[in-house]
């Protein structure tokens, strides 16, 4: 308890998690044979929980994000149930759901960057099941849904054009975008590749083929395409962000490209 009482939450998030986990452990939190959370001493456990709650709120406010451990919130939910604090149990369960929803919203955002709106919609839908009032997942789910709906018609029109004119570079590009929107990634890559064969100055096609490969974690293949796009179009945000994400995914280091 002394370490928890003296904890300066502003110093280190990892330390916050470590001390709070130790405080939870000190209550003897466990499960009875029926699976219900229990503690060794309910009154002492309640005191620990109240102090933890103060520190958690201070850390969240200082770092502008939840603790870097969803498991802590799960254990705090169990601790609150064990000491009979239903309100706090509900609060922590809600936070736990929001953390998971935020992770799904981020996956949705990344999928939309790749151009894969169908996959994005799946992530947003799951996020909204956990947190129906999520401020970002709701509006973005609507945008992704509209993009998917539109893509079906775009794909049909592009394919009709290519039946009569297989060398139509614009139709190949539209087909690629529609395929990617509908989570047909391999087909999209093939269509983007055909686009740049017919139109090697199309920086957007180079960039989008690169991000499609990036979505499949084919980093070595994605890099030269994104670099080519940036060479053709130095202000291409798609290429800049793609290279930034690529470096982050492969090294953990962000760049200042965008």
- Predicted confidence at residue 255, as pLDDT, reads 56
Residue 127 lies in a domain: no
| Block mean pLDDT (10 aa), the chain, length 258 | 89 93 95 94 95 94 88 94 94 89 94 98 96 92 97 98 97 98 98 97 98 97 98 96 94 61
Number of domains forming the structure of the chain:
2
Report yes or no on 105 lying in a domain.
no
Least Cα distance to 41 among 30, 53, 52 occurs for 30
| β strands within the chain, DSSP E | 30-31, 37-38
Last residue of some domain: 62, 84, 106?
84
Q: Which 8-state DSSP code applies to residue 255?
A: -
Residue pair 60/69 in contact (Cβ under 8 Å)? The answer is no
Give this prediction's pTM: 0.79
- Tell me which of 49, 84, 119 is where a domain ends: 84
- DSSP one-letter string for 26-93: HTT-EE-TTS-EE-S-HHHHHHHHHHHHHHHHHHHHHHTS--S-HHHHHHHHHHHHHTT-HHHHHHHH
Looking at the domain assignment, is residue 218 inside a domain? yes
The verdict on residue 122 lying in a domain is no
How far apart, in whole angstroms, are the C-alpha atoms of residue 256 and residue 163? Answer: 43
Residue that finishes a domain, picked among 56, 84, 112 = 84
Residue 161 and residue 79 share a domain? no
* pLDDT tens-digit series, residues 95-129: 888 889 999 999 999 999 999 999 999 999 999 99
The domain of 151 spans: 147-251
- CATH classification of the domain holding 165: 1.25.40.10
* Whole-number pLDDT of residue 2: 84
Kindly state whether residue 28 falls inside one of the protein's structural domains.
yes
Residue 164 domain-assigned (yes or no): yes
Query: Tell me, what's the pLDDT at 254?
Result: 59
Residues 72 and 156 reside in one and the same domain: no
Q: Are residues 240 and 154 in the same domain?
A: yes
Q: Is residue 115 part of a domain?
A: no
Residue 251: predicted pLDDT: 87
């Amino acid at each position: 308890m002394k370490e928890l009482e003296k904890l300066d939450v502003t110093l280190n998030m990892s330390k916050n998690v470590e001390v709070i986990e130790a405080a939870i452990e000190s209550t003897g939190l466990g499960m009875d044979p029926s699976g219900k959370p229990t503690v060794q001493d309910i009154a002492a456990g309640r005191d620990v929980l109240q102090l933890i709650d103060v520190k958690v709120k201070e850390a969240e406010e200082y770092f502008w994000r939840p603790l870097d451990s969803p498991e802590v919130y799960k254990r705090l939910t169990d601790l609150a149930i064990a000491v009979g604090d239903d309100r706090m149990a509900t609060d922590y369960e809600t936070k736990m759901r929001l953390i998971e929803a935020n992770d799904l919203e981020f996956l949705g955002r990344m999928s939309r960057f790749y151009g894969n709106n169908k996959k994005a919609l799946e992530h947003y839908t799951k996020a909204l099941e956990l947190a129906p009032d999520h401020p970002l997942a709701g509006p973005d789910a609507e945008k992704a849904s509209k993009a998917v709906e539109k893509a079906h018609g775009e794909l049909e029109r592009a394919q009709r054009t290519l039946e009569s004119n297989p060398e139509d570079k614009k139709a190949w590009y539209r087909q690629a975008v529609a395929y990617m929107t509908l989570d047909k990634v391999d087909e999209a890559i093939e269509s983007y590749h055909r686009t740049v064969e017919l139109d090697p100055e199309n920086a957007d096609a180079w960039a989008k083929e690169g991000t499609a490969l990036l979505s499949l974690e084919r980093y070595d293949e994605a890099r030269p395409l994104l670099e080519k796009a940036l060479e053709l179009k130095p202000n291409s945000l798609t290429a800049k962000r793609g290279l930034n994400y690529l470096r982050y995914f492969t090294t953990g280091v962000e760049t200042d490209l965008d």
